[in-house]
């Protein structure tokens, strides 16, 4: 059975790179009906942050990832935190000392670390799932520390002990771990254990082809930030999966179930993966447009409320459904609201050119008269626009474009009667007055 793991350190928030590692391991496990394990590598005590483990698990869960064994779920191969496994590391470090495969390095008379004795003249070769056959010579690696003088194991030693006893079959991780692999193989061989299959994913780079860094302020780095901005977890899962993997079908908008079914490790890419912000926006927008009107309203309502915008659900449903196609992420709905109800009404040069292309004053004056005695329902507004068109002998583009400009200032926009209904009588009539004043040169 396939058994894979994601093993974060609780030293910070879940960022794009680690999320991709978790997602690829998860999809690989689910594709092969295997097990996905979460293990917390918490031995870097000084860098551990309070709530770091919870943040990792909460954000993975938000992305739609579930796991089979972990600190919170337990399992037969636990414990799943390294600091709770120190006796196990100590035991196997002692075995290496007894075999002469490791030695003590004293700092003073009482304190010592333990170094692994690297074999001489040995070649280490492994078949990487992404890069094919890779080879290292033992001369390239100096004797390395497996246990520090405080008794805490180093990463390359602890990870082997854990992966062996948790029966991990495949290790999918970032390419920065390639040079760690020969050290880990040395430990497997020292104990006569089976070596898992390794796969090292390529770098994620920014649009300038530079390695994605947490200090890169042009790209939102952390999963919690995307949640706060109002990206849909399904969209983010979809997007991240395409960073270093390509499906066998010519589709990019893929559900979690499709990703599981299609996930073939042979299609992991060898070239660096570019973080394309436009592509993320496109994917998220695609998911937003697929939401029902009711689900979209429920999704953006908390963002509006947090901004102090409180409306009843009937009004909110009309408003949010009108702008759903324009909304790229949840928090953007607040900006769209303020833009929609902006009291600063002005006519752009382009809009004025349209209005002055012929005499639209009779049309706009007629519209004003019909709106004065109107209940401002969408149906009545639609009828008022048609009547004004008849009065001024205008139709089609020559009817709807000048009416839209005179009432919203925009040349294009969402459904006009619904827009006017939401703007309300006072705002619409005031804008019409302003437009007529400009056209008449008053």
- In angstroms, the CA 424 to CA 341 distance is 10
Given the structure tokens 């917390």, which residue do they identify? Answer: 40
Structure-block tokens of residue 102: 């490791």
Query: H-type helices in 218-348, by residue range?
Result: 223-229, 233-241, 256-262, 277-290, 293-306, 313-323, 332-340
- The residue among 291, 285, 275 whose CA lies nearest residue 19 is 275
For 85, 94, 99, 147, the CA distances from 151, given in Å and listed in that order, are 12, 12, 19, 6
- In angstroms, the CA 168 to CA 172 distance is 11
Active site residue 214: yes
- The residue among 43, 65, 45, 53 whose CA lies nearest residue 12 is 53
- Which residues, 6 or more positions from 306, have their beta carbon under 8 angstroms from its beta carbon? none
The residue length of the chain stands at 442
E strand residue ranges, 75-196: 102-106, 112-116, 123-128, 132-137, 144-147, 170-174
Three-state SS at 421: helix
Please, what sign has the CA dihedral across residues 246, 249, 250, 252? negative
DSSP states of 368-420: HHHHHT----HHHHHHHHHHHHHHHT--THHHHHHHHHHHHS-SS-S-HHHHH
- Which residues, 6 or more positions from 326, have their beta carbon under 8 angstroms from its beta carbon? 336, 414
Q: Among residues 90, 210, 214, 289, which one is catalytic?
A: 214
Catalytic residues: 214
């Amino acid at each position: 059975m396939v058994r894979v793991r994601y093993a974060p350190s609780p030293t910070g928030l879940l960022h794009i790179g680690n999320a991709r590692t978790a997602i690829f391991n998860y999809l690989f496990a689910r594709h092969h009906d295997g097990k996905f394990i979460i293990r917390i590598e918490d031995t870097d005590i000084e860098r551990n942050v309070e709530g770091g483990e919870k943040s990792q698990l909460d954000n993975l869960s938000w992305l739609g990832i579930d796991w089979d064994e972990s600190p919170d779920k337990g399992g037969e191969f636990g414990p799943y935190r390294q600091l709770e496994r120190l006796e196990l590391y100590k035991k196997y470090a002692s075995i290496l000392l007894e075999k002469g495969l490791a030695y003590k390095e004293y700092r003073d008379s009482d304190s010592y670390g333990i170094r692994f004795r690297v074999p001489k003249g040995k070649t280490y070769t492994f078949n990487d799932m992404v890069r094919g056959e890779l080879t290292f010579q033992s001369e390239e690696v100096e004797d390395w520390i497996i246990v520090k003088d405080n008794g805490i194991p180093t990463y390359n030693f602890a990870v082997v002990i854990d992966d062996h006893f948790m029966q991990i079959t495949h290790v999918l991780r970032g390419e920065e771990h390639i040079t760690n692999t020969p050290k880990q193989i040395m430990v497997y061989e020292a104990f006569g254990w089976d070596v898992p299959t390794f796969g090292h994913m390529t770098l994620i780079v920014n649009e300038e082809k530079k390695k994605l860094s947490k200090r890169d302020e042009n790209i939102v780095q952390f999963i919690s930030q995307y949640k706060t901005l109002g990206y849909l977890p399904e969209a983010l899962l979809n997007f991240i999966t395409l960073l270093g993997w390509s499906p066998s079908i010519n589709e990019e908008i893929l559900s979690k179930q499709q990703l599981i079914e299609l996930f073939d490790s042979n299609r992991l890419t060898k070239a660096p993966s570019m973080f394309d912000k436009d592509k993320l926006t496109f994917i998220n927008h695609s998911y937003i447009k697929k939401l029902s009107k009711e689900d979209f309203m429920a999704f953006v309502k908390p963002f509006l409320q947090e901004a102090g915008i409180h409306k009843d659900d009937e009004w909110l449903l009309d408003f949010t459904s009108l702008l759903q196609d324009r909304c790229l992420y949840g928090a953007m709905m607040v900006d769209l609201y303020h833009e929609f109800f902006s009291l600063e009404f002005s006519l752009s040069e382009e809009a004025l050119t349209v209005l002055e292309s012929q005499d639209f004053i009779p049309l706009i004056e007629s519209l004003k008269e019909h709106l004065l005695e109107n209940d401002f329902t969408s149906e009545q507004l639609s009828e008022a626009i048609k009547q004004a068109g008849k009065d001024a002998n205008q139709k089609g583009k020559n009817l709807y474009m000048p009416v839209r400009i005179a009432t919203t200032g925009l040349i294009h926009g969402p459904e006009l009667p619904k827009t006017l209904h939401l703007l309300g009588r006072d705002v619409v009539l005031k804008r019409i007055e302003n437009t007529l004043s400009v056209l008449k040169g008053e």
